[in-house]
Structure 1
């Protein structure tokens, strides 16, 4: 029985091992700097933001275009789709809740851990333009006292923006840290970006003239 359990463990470990994946990295020039996306044929492994980049103040309603800095022919299909998803996020971000999320293939999503549970709850429950506290996420994950562990899960998030850890704030309303505190300015930009365009979307719907009945 012990030998059988050991073999089963090895089989699962081999299945979840992503170290042998042939990854490809592409870059997207965005309003918050260069975003690097790495992925294999199975899915996305990481999204890296440019911590030192200081974006322009996000104080008015505007959408943005983004330029892919790699040849489309060199990308894996998941990386291609991820680029398309990120471009939509900056140009028409409210549409991203209706788009299929890029498939993830980072090890953190291959194991039934507290970190994975928190990240997947964040992905499914906190939508564009919304925010949640660390405590709320801890409660969703089944342990309302695990606030520090939720903070640790946010730091371990390998795919920021895709899994929107920028939407997680402190219970007192402070935005909290992002990327270990090095990217707080990016977090504020992303939150403002979503807030402005969500409010603009609501206003345009209210002001849309009613068509006469035919």
Structure 2
């Protein structure tokens, strides 16, 4: 049986909750309406989570441009392909749903791409906030308080978008 570890930390976009196994981060949740998925559980830190905490604090302070903590993503083959493309994006880079669809060999599947992006279990570290509509508009965000959270992350990384 795999051990499960948990930490929380404050951030400019609300409290964050990270879950990990013995070797990798498995989820990151951004507070929504003051609630996190495992609020009732006690924190159980481990070395992976402590490293992630430090890296996230550095990211929010503008001192870290990329994450190097191990992440274990679990999903369908399609989701994994989309998330692998998200992992290729760097600080300040954006892509579109259409470009992601082409990159995973599914041109025209922008709506399915949106579903996969929205299901990303490790936002921020796997930068799903960096995905915009083809015309540069913000079409939504499933983390935290939604679009306001995405706006903050885009502004933090100085990523331009269309109004």
2:47 counterpart (77, 92, 99)? 77
Q: Structure 2 vs 1, CA of residues 185 and 83 (structure 1 numbering), >3 Å: closer, same or farther?
A: same
| Alignment TM-score, normalising by the size of structure 1 | 0.65
1:168 aligns with 2:131: yes
TM superposition shift of 1:182: 4.8
The 3-state SS of whatever aligns with 2:157 is helix
Q: Structure 2 vs 1, CA of residues 144 and 181 (structure 1 numbering), >3 Å: closer, same or farther?
A: farther
What do residues 60-87 of structure 1 show as CA deviations (whole Å, max 9, x unaligned)?
Answer: xxxxxxxxxx98xx51121111111111
Is residue 85–residue 96 contact of structure 1 (8 Å, CA) maintained in 2? no
1:33 aligns with 2:33: no
What do residues 188-212 of structure 1 show as CA deviations (whole Å, max 9, x unaligned)?
Answer: 011011108xxxxxxxxxxxxxxxx
Is residue 87–residue 127 contact of structure 2 (8 Å, CA) maintained in 1? yes
Distance in 2 (CA, whole Å) between partners of 1:33 and 1:148 is 28
More helix by share: 1
Number of residue pairs matched?
152
Match of 1:116 in 2: 80
TM superposition shift of 1:106: 4.0
TM superposition shift of 1:50: 1.1
- Note the residue ranges of structure 2 that are not aligned, 5 or more in a row: 35-41
RMSD over aligned CA atoms reads 2.2
Runs of 4+ in 1 over 3 A off after TM superposition: none
Matches within 5 A, 1:18-97: 20-52=1-33, 74-93=44-63, 95-97=64-66
- Note the residue ranges of structure 1 that are not aligned, 5 or more in a row: 1-19, 54-69, 197-214
Q: Structure 2 vs 1, CA of residues 181 and 41 (structure 1 numbering), >3 Å: closer, same or farther?
A: closer
Match of 1:103 in 2: 70
The 3-state SS of whatever aligns with 1:32 is coil
